Structure formats: structure tokens, C-alpha cells
Structure 1
Amino acid sequence: MYKELNTFNNVIEYLSTDIRLLLSKLPKTFKENIEEIRLRNHKPLNLYIQGKNYFISKENTLTEDPKKAFIVNQQQINNTFQLITNHSVYAFSEEITNGFITICGGHRVGLGGKIVYGPKGIENIRNLSSLNIRIAREKKGISNHIISYLLNNEGEFHNTLIISPPQCGKTTLIRDIIRNLSDGYKTICRGFKISLIDERSEIGGVYNGIPQKDIGLRTDVLDGCLKSDGIMMAIRSLSPDIIAVDEIGGTRDVEAIDEALRAGIKFIATIHGHGLKDIYGKTNMRKLMREKIFKRYIILDRTRGVGTISAIIDGESLVTIYPKKGDKDEVY
């Protein structure tokens, strides 16, 4: 757990001094498991830990009572933002228009405030009212036991869709699958050329041009790129075996995926949802599912904690192949 503790200590270096000192005194077990740190102007300091929301008191104890909580003020938000941008807000102007900033380590800071529009769309976010620091935790090896389920008898990759509710570990899982596919895993899996379209900078966590997370030896990253644009760019110039994307669903995403499949490229993607029935209810996804484009569906939930793989389903037969064979998931 040393790595988890070190990750936490690196993240709080970006916080206003008084908040940093407050969090630094938390018990070790909480530091290792914090997923989000939320600062809201004139609201309690909010922590998200293992699926639960907590406040922190001035005595450094976690509480669910907002009356006992430490209250964040505007100056603390401003000071934190200056540290996040290294006192050069202009240098992060493009990221700010996307609503988040990626800091060293691949952690993402979501921004809340006054949205300023211009002729080309969002130009700035002013009068910051909230910051949400999402701690990107890398867990190597969590996909080792399922890699064989994602390959056919010839060792070729099956198009795979990871279905998960928010904050159930889909980004952590797809990152580790990409690493294994890119590096090659033992004798089970050869190394594939992968193009990662990392629109939100969450999977690779690119900072100053360098991925902060291990995404494998044969992975090219298009960071901060719209999925639909990145897929087409990868097809034209990167000659990938596999394209990886996070959170698909838009019409343009589906059209670009269709174009890549016609070029003979395999896909791994994630989508927010609560199972196959939920995904089938999304108009843009129905066509892909009817045509059985995805040969593997990985279903995540929290039944045994964050990142629980509740099932891997064969896309042709809709039979559960992991962990228990023979259970059919009725969809259509």
C-alpha cells in the first residue's frame, strides 16, 4: 500500500496549505482509499471513499454530519487552483475550456464556475466555485485472470465493451487490459499495436506529453482528442491492431467505430450502464448490439467492492462465460 499512500501525498501537494495539513493528518487507511476530494465554496470539504461520501471535521475525523465539517472558502479554492496551474492559468486555457485539468500523476481536476461563451463555444471558466480532484489509482494485474476470455483460439482479440455504472472501476480496468494487450501477457497474448483515444486524459494520464500510467509498450495516445476524430486519425496514420476508447455512446462515436471495423481494426471501449438491457435501451448502441459487433461484454458493479467483474458475456450467444458458464443474459 506504499504506492497508494505516496499517490495521496503527491495529490495533496496541490491543495491550499490549510486543507493539505488537515488531510495529511487522516489515518493511513483513509489516505490509501480516497477516490475524490471535493472543494465547494462555502460548503463542507467533501471526501469520497470506497463508495461513500464523508465530510472532515476540524479535528481531522471523518463525519457524515455537515454541521461538524470543515468549511471551504473562496480563497482556499483560488490558492488550490493556482497550485494546480503552477501559477500560470493561461498555459492551461485549452484544458480549462474542457472543464478539467490533468495534473502530474494523471489525476483529473474537474472545474465548476461561471461558463464564458464566445463565437467558437466555451472560452473560459471564471469565478471558480468548486474543484473536484479525482485520484487516478493504477492497479496493475487486475485484468490478468480475464485476458484469455478476450481472445479467440488463434490469439486474436475479440471486440470488447466494458459496461459499468459510474465509479465502479471501468477506467482502471480498461487501462490494465490495454497494458496487457500492448505488452503481451505470458504465452496467452502477443503484443498488439494499440491506439488509445484518451479524450478526458484519464486512461493514460498524459502530463507534459508523457503518460503517467503504464499503458504498455506498443500504445500510441491521442490525448484530449474527441473520440470520433481520434478514431479516424488512428485509422489513417497509426495502423493499430486495436483502438481503445473510454465512454462511447454518441452518434459520431458509433459512426467512427463502424468505419474502423470496416478497416479490420478491433475495438475495446467502455460505456456507462447497468447491464446489457440498459445499454440496448440506448438508441445509438442498439445497432452495434443487433449486429453483434462486440464479441465480449464485461459487466462491472460494486457487489464485492469497486471493480467487481460480475460477468463476462459472449456477444454471440449472450451466455455468461465468466465466472459461471451457462447463464444466459436475456436482452432482446
Structure 2
Amino acid sequence: MEEILRLFPELIRKHVQAKIGKRWEALQEIRFRLNKPIELVFDHQTEWLTEIKPSQKDGLHVLNQISQFSLYRLEDELREGYVTIEGGHRVGLAGKVNTINGSVKAIQHIAFMNIRIAKEKIGAATTILPYLHGENYANTLIVGAPQTGKTTIIRDLTRLIASGWRNVPAKKVAVIDERSEIGASLKGIPQHNLGFRADVMDACPKAEGMMMMIRSMSPDVLVVDEIGSKQDVQALMEAIHAGVVVICTIHGQTLSELKKRPSLHVLFHHHVFERIVVLNKQKTPGQVNAIYDQHEHNIFSKKYMGVTPY
């Protein structure tokens, strides 16, 4: 986790490293607030570094490390409120917002940061994989609140589909990785294992990237993280009409909640998703609460839990 530790000034780095110890696998977030104790969020508990409170100088140090001493080059990311760093880790930012004509231009005077730890968990998707494949892969929506493991699951699904499992041959998979979280690409090369037949469009807006990959890479399966806008939905519909299987994630708590969103109406009206996987926020990230078919029947059974696809 050197890419995380290098962000901090030396004294804070030593305290953080000592507090975490050998528990990096259980760490979900490091919350860094000026003049307040540092918060460490683990899978099952939250702990605090009360002996040290970051100063404004410490905050500037972290921002310089994140931006490589050029906040200007991160103007688009600052407008979105987060920056993805090496390793696929995402740093959320908050502070005073600068607006123009009512729209956010950037975040200034950043005083709050949330470092979300990206984790590559090989085998994380093996529980749900048997539900997603019949004669072919099913168009699939993975639903979950923050920290439920959506990206971890979709990353491992990509690896399995692009490498093949049991007697199922590998498929060509196109990954639209807008925030560089799925593949954690460095200069275009994924640092996470996405399988033999995966092609990645890194740091590209989802809607544009989907169309580009369909035209240029002829994928069997299209993977995209965190859909939601009307443009995303339109691109998904075009991909499906082109005969490409779509697997994507979305922020949400329940299926009924998603069906109330106007931008998603067309997807549910046409029963686009043959499988809808709902993750459980109350358990360890990646745990499944329900799997619905296109008729919204819950087909999830614990008898498949732990089944290996290899």
C-alpha cells in the first residue's frame, strides 16, 4: 500500500502505518480532516488516530502528492469531487465549492478527504457467476450502496469472463473504466488482473466509451461501472441492440428504489436486465442479498454459495 502511504507527511505516515499494521485487507477508508483526528474505517469497526490532527500544511502536502504538484491538471476531477490515484484508489474531496452560473467549477480550500481503498479480491464473484450464465451471459445490473463491493465484484467478473471458467470459453470483454477503478490502469495498462481477453478504455466518459469500444473492439461483453445518467442509459440500450451483453453497476439500496428513478425507466420498462444482483450493506463487502431474474423473482439460493467456477 505504498501508493497510499506516500500521500502523507512522514510523521502522519508513521502513525497511520503503525495503527493499521497488518490489517490492510480489512481497511476500507482513511478519512483525513484538517484539525481533526484521522479516521480509519475497517470492515467491521472504525478506529481513530487521536494523537495527531492534520494541519493545513499537512493537507497541502497530501493534495500535492495526489496532483503531482499541479491541481490545474486535475480540474475535471476536482469538479467531480474525487481523484483516482495509482492502484485504483479513489480520493474524495470536500471543501468550499466555486460555482459559475449555478454549476460547480471546482472545489477550493479542500479540508476533507476520503481515501477509499481499492481491493483486488480474486474469487469475489464466484458466488454469483453461476446465476449469470446459461447459453450465454445475461445482461446484469449489480446494485449496492457505497462500500458494498460493487467494483470489486465487477472487476472479478471481468477476469472470469475474459479468462473462461469450468467449460465456458473466454469471451472478449470491453471495460469502460471512467474513474480508473476497475483496472487501475497506469499509462493505459491495467494493474489489476482483468483476464486474458479484456480490453480497457481508461479514463473515458462511459457513454462515449461504450460506443467507441463497440465500434473498435467488437466485444462480446461490455463492462461499465456506476451508470445513472440518461446518456449512460441510451448508450446501454444501443449496446444491447447491437447484440452486446452488458454488465454494469449502480448506486442503490433496493430494486424498488431504482425503479423510481426517471433515467432508468426505459431499462426496467423493456426488462433489459436478465439478472439484478443486490449487495448487502450490513455484511462484509461483496455479500449478496438477492439476485432477481427479468421477472423480478428472487432466484438467489445459498446452496450455490462457495461454488467455485474453476
Please confirm whether the aligned pair reaches a TM-score higher than 0.5, indicating the same fold.
Answer: yes
Note the residue ranges of structure 1 that are not aligned, 5 or more in a row: 1-6, 59-69, 326-332
* C-alpha contact (below 8 Å) 1:292/1:315 kept by paired residues: yes
Matches within 5 A, 1:20-169: 20-26=13-19, 28=21, 30-50=23-43, 52-58=45-51, 70-116=52-98, 124-152=106-134, 154=135, 156-169=136-149
Note the residue ranges of structure 2 that are not aligned, 5 or more in a row: 304-310
Look up the match of 1:330.
none
* C-alpha contact (below 8 Å) 1:160/1:269 kept by paired residues: yes
Give the drift of 1:125: 4.1
Q: For the residues of structure 2 that align with 1:284 and 1:126, how far apart are their CA atoms?
A: 31
TM-score in terms of structure 1 length:
0.83
Give the drift of 1:135: 0.9
Look up the match of 2:153.
173
Q: 1:206 to 1:98 in 2, by over 3 A?
A: farther
* C-alpha contact (below 8 Å) 1:244/1:268 kept by paired residues: yes
Q: Name the aligned partner's letter for residue 256 of structure 1.
A: A
SS in 2 for 1:171: helix
Q: For the residues of structure 2 that align with 1:83 and 1:27, how far apart are their CA atoms?
A: 21
Look up the match of 1:264.
243
Q: 1:206 to 1:76 in 2, by over 3 A?
A: same
* C-alpha contact (below 8 Å) 1:115/1:122 kept by paired residues: yes
Deviations 1:178-235 (A, max 9, x none): 1111111131x22111111112221111222221211122222222222111122122
* C-alpha contact (below 8 Å) 1:298/1:311 kept by paired residues: yes
How many residues are aligned here? 302
Q: Name the aligned partner's letter for residue 227 of structure 1.
A: K
Q: For the residues of structure 1 that align with 2:112 and 2:157, how far apart are their CA atoms?
A: 33
Q: 1:183 to 1:56 in 2, by over 3 A?
A: same
Give the drift of 1:10: 4.1
SS in 2 for 1:206: coil
Percent identity (aligned):
37
Q: Name the aligned partner's letter for residue 54 of structure 1.
A: E
* C-alpha contact (below 8 Å) 2:29/2:117 kept by paired residues: yes
Q: Which structure has more RCO (C-alpha within 8 Å, separation ≥ 6)?
A: 2
Q: 1:122 to 1:236 in 2, by over 3 A?
A: farther
Q: Which moved more, 1:9-18 or 1:83-92?
A: 83-92
TM-score in terms of structure 2 length:
0.88
Q: Name the aligned partner's letter for residue 277 of structure 2.
A: I
1:311 aligns with 2:304: no
Q: Name the aligned partner's letter for residue 76 of structure 1.
A: D
Q: Name the aligned partner's letter for residue 81 of structure 1.
A: L
* C-alpha contact (below 8 Å) 1:310/1:323 kept by paired residues: no
Look up the match of 1:237.
216
SS in 2 for 1:320: coil
Give the drift of 1:32: 3.3
Q: For the residues of structure 2 that align with 1:89 and 1:288, how far apart are their CA atoms?
A: 38
Aligned CA-pair RMSD: 2.3
* C-alpha contact (below 8 Å) 1:106/1:207 kept by paired residues: no
Look up the match of 1:14.
7
Look up the match of 2:193.
214
Of 269, 272, 275, 1:293 maps to 272
Look up the match of 1:320.
298
Q: For the residues of structure 2 that align with 1:314 and 1:324, how far apart are their CA atoms?
A: 16
* C-alpha contact (below 8 Å) 1:102/1:207 kept by paired residues: no
Q: For the residues of structure 2 that align with 1:232 and 1:264, how far apart are their CA atoms?
A: 13
Q: Name the aligned partner's letter for residue 222 of structure 1.
A: M
Q: For the residues of structure 2 that align with 1:93 and 1:277, how far apart are their CA atoms?
A: 36
Q: For the residues of structure 1 that align with 2:159 and 2:129, how far apart are their CA atoms?
A: 11
* C-alpha contact (below 8 Å) 2:183/2:194 kept by paired residues: yes
Q: Which moved more, 1:290-299 or 1:25-34?
A: 25-34
Give the drift of 1:300: 0.5
Look up the match of 2:307.
none
Give the drift of 1:139: 0.2
Q: Name the aligned partner's letter for residue 319 of structure 1.
A: H
1:182 aligns with 2:162: yes
Q: Name the aligned partner's letter for residue 278 of structure 2.
A: I
Q: Name the aligned partner's letter for residue 228 of structure 1.
A: A
Q: Which moved more, 1:166-175 or 1:214-223?
A: 214-223
Give the drift of 1:169: 0.7
Deviations 1:266-306 (A, max 9, x none): 10011112222111121222321232111111110134422
* C-alpha contact (below 8 Å) 1:38/1:133 kept by paired residues: yes
Q: For the residues of structure 1 that align with 2:104 and 2:204, how far apart are their CA atoms?
A: 16
* C-alpha contact (below 8 Å) 1:34/1:49 kept by paired residues: yes
